[in-house]
Structures are given as structure tokens and as C-alpha cells.
Amino acid sequence: MALAIAPGWVRTEMAEDFIAKFGKQAAVADIPIGEMAEAAEIAELVAFALRPSQRSLNGATLDVNGGSYIR
């Protein structure tokens, strides 16, 4: 299996530091849904992708970025 997960902004300690310095509006300005992903969202996607039933999900990049860029 070859699979890449490409997250955009994820609400982490690093993101919180950015928000503290520049404000939430600056952090989410380029995210159309207006919020960062949560780490749990990424974990759920990984768990889904690793299910045996998803054997055809291969050779893909899964973008988790709130629509901030589209391939």
C-alpha cells in the first residue's frame, strides 16, 4: 500500500502558538471552512484508510486542508 496524507493546518501546540502571536483570523484566513483540522480527524482518516476493506485506496494523496487548495 502506498498512501500519503497531506494535512494543512492542524490544531496543535504549534498552531496555538501561531494563534497566540497572530490571531485566529490570520491562521484560518486561507481555509474556506474557517477552521483548522483536529488531530482526531487525521487519526480517523488513517484508521479508515488502513481498513482491509479499503484495499483499492492505494497510490493516493488525501488532502485534509479544509479546502485551502484543490488538486
Cell (9 digits) for 30: 486561507
Q: Does pLDDT of 50 surpass 90?
A: yes
Q: Domain containing 52: what range? A: 3-64
Give tens-digit pLDDT for 9-47: 999 999 999 999 999 999 999 999 999 999 999 999 999
Structural domains in the chain (count): 1
Question: What amino acid occupies position 63?
Answer: D
Three-state DSSP string of 10-65: ECCHHHHHHHHHHCHHHHHCCCCCCCCECHHHHHHHHHHHCCHHHCCCCCEEEEEC
Q: Is residue 28 part of a domain?
A: yes
Q: Is residue 70 part of a domain?
A: no
Cell (9 digits) for 68: 485551502
Band (pLDDT 50/70/90 cuts) for residue 70 is: confident
